[in-house]
Amino acid sequence: MTETLHRPAHAAAVEPAHGLAGTWQLTKLALRRDRIILPIWILMLSVAPASATGTFDTYYPTAADRAGLTSSMGSNPSIAVVYGPAFDLSTSGGFTAWRLGGFVALFIGLMAVFTVTRHTRAEEDTGRAELLASAIVGRYAALTAAVIVSAGSSLLIGVIEAATLSGSKLPVGGAFAFGAATASAGLVFTAIAAVCAQLAEYSRTANGIGAAAVGISFLLRAIGDSTGSAHWVSWLSPIGWAQQVRPFSGERWWVLLLPVAASVAIGATAYVLLPRRDIGVGILPPRPGPAEASRSLSSPLGLAWRLHRGPFIGWIVGMVVCGAAFGSISSGIGDLVNQSEQTREVFARLGGSDSLTDAFLATMAGLFAMIGSLFGVQAVLRMRGEETANRVEPVLATSVTRLRWAMSHLIFAFLGTAVLLVLAGALLGFSSGLRSGDVAGSTGHTVIAMLAQLPAVWVVVGVAVTLFGLAPKYSAAGWGVASVALLISLLGPVLNVQQAVLDISPFQHVPKLPNQPITAPPLLWLLVVAVVALSAGLSGWRRRDVG
């Protein structure tokens, strides 16, 4: 006997009409959720280039100054590692493109990676994507919405850059070339992030792979631009493509075809991979664990180490490599300013020393501290990820207290950043000392300079803990706090902004070692702020509901 199963008549009504059904609604939801962090990214990245145009006339007022700058930069591989190739430094537009073009492309790439992951893989981690998939939402809707938000933000940044640079009386063609070049980098990394979201099973892994892709892109660009025999390597990098457009230096519009083609090809790969996996599962199979857990996982600290060790090791490798690379070029920094007293003043303001090498090392110490604070924020947000994934309540149902669980993670957020800075400082000083002939002295000075940055780093991490404890829904704003502090400290002195604005960043209150004397009061005040922020966050965590 056979029986025919009839499909209910109303069943077809709850199925999506097509794979993109619900895309517009998810796009609006993503924009609403990013209404704080996304405008910060857009404002900072789009306004910075135009703000820097006036500095060129100030620091290089004469034809002799500009000729000296062009001759020194055109043949200095040490400086090309940081800023890229100098195509034309005789004009304000060419100087702005050289000074900021690579960094803007770098930060747009990070913005794209975080945005796409937040609205794709992170939604699957929390189970919200599966809930939405049970409604009238197409299979490709979430990915498409994330791509629209990320790519749209990149294009908007490019448009605003073009408009503001044109308003600064720079050539219109160069302004639009600059905007198109930086926006194209955002498109490529949006596509890369979309693929990472399909490959990885967890959002932290997808963010790690995407951020590594951005870092590798910057490294490839640096290798190609600093090595004459391997210049072709920079053409393997989306950041290199953005600079090879040559805004304000005889624009090469055809180069934009490379990022457009790469974006389409890589993005298409993401859409091909999407239906080949289940929701909540990545293409890359997870490594099966042992049948029995190790004894180290019997404590909250052991579990926290298991969760943080992958990113932590990756950060260590990146910081050590960058420390060695930047230390090795410190002896060549004098060529940058050998004919410009105004630029000496800029470096003195950045590094707090009239000695150019010391000023450069002090600047690098501050830069590494700002970047290291991002790891601290990432470690704090890991707690929020465990909470939203409903993995905290089973742990707290045992004898583990809330504070004990939180402190097991915060050890990595606070002490982990100290380890990163010490290792980066050691390699920075060691490689610089090899060039100068004073390894021991240089290493000791840079390690001390890094340790002096810790109170400022801990302020940023403490604010992230405050958000986690008192406003968990806005925990992701910790990225915004770290980004604002980084951009103010990195671009503020160059743009000659008011001191009141610079003081917003905790990194501006740290003594500029190695040549400046250590002053205890600002460091103590920063520690007080960090402790207050940490205490407020832990107090809120103890009292609020989990989830």
pLDDT digits (tens, 9 = 90+) for 33-74: 888 788 888 888 888 788 777 777 777 777 777 776 666 665
Any idea which of 241-245, 287-291, 317-321, 484-488 has the lowest mean pLDDT? Answer: 287-291
The residue with greater pLDDT, 61 or 205, is 205
C-alpha distances out from residue 135 to 11, 26, 131, 132, Å = 11, 12, 7, 5
In the chain, % of residues over pLDDT 90 = 28
Query: Quick one: pLDDT at residue 335?
Result: 52
∠ Cα 91 97 98 (to 5°): 90
pLDDT at 273 > cutoff 90? yes
Q: What is the per-residue pLDDT for 353?
A: 47
What secondary structure letter does DSSP report for 509?
Answer: G
Amino acid at 324: A
Whether residue 411 has pLDDT greater than 80: yes
The pLDDT, as a whole number, for residue 155 is: 95
Q: What is the mean pLDDT of residues 79-85?
A: 74
197 closest CA partner among 145, 157, 152: 145
Q: How far apart are CA 104 and CA 140, in angstroms?
A: 30
Please give the average per-residue pLDDT across 322-345, as a whole number.
61
Say what the pLDDT of residue 176 is: 94
Residue 330, pLDDT > 70, answer no
Name which of 140-149, 306-315, 462-471, 523-532 the model is least confident about. 306-315
Q: What pLDDT shows up at residue 354?
A: 47
Cα separation, 211 vs 194, in Å, equals: 13
Contact (Cβ atoms closer than 8 angstroms) between residue 276 and residue 284: no
Rounded to an integer, what distance in angstroms lies between the CA atom of residue 385 and that of residue 390?
9
Structure confidence by residue, pLDDT tens digits, 429-440: 888 777 667 778
Give the predicted TM-score (pTM) of the model.
0.77
pLDDT value of position 7: 47
Percent of the chain with pLDDT over 70: 84
Q: What average pLDDT does range 301-322 have in this prediction? A: 84
Distance CA 187, CA 238 (A): 10
pLDDT score for 245? 92
> Residue 394, preceding bond cis, omega within 30 degrees?
no
- pLDDT band for 194, please (50, 70, 90 cuts): very high
E-assigned strand segments in 281-422: none
What local confidence, expressed as pLDDT, does residue 187 receive? 95
Q: What is the mean pLDDT of residues 323-344?
A: 61
Residue 473 has pLDDT above 70, yes or no: yes
Q: Which of 541, 408, 380 is nearest to 476 (CA)?
A: 380
pLDDT > 60? residue 341: no
Is the peptide bond prior to 514 cis by the omega test (within 30 degrees of 0)? yes
Q: What is the pLDDT of residue 430?
A: 84
Q: Is the pLDDT of residue 484 over 70?
A: yes
Give the pLDDT score at 528: 94
pLDDT greater than 70 at residue 13: no
Residue tagged 């890589």 (tokens) = 266
Residue 289's pLDDT is what?
67
- What is the per-residue pLDDT for 72? 61
Q: How far is CA 386 from CA 109, 285, 405, in A?
A: 26, 21, 11
Range of lowest pLDDT (175-189, 270-284, 324-338): 324-338
Q: Once rounded to an integer, what is the mean pLDDT over residues 312-338?
A: 71
Q: What share of the chain is helix, strand, coil (3-state, %, to 5)?
A: 80, 0, 20
Mean pLDDT of all residues in 499-516: 78
What is the pLDDT at residue 442?
79
What separation in angstroms does the CA of 375 have from each of 35, 40, 371, 540? 23, 20, 7, 22
- Residue 238 confidence (pLDDT): 93
Residue 125 neighbours by CB under 8 Å, 6+ apart: 202, 203, 280, 385, 388, 389
User: How long is the chain?
Assistant: 547
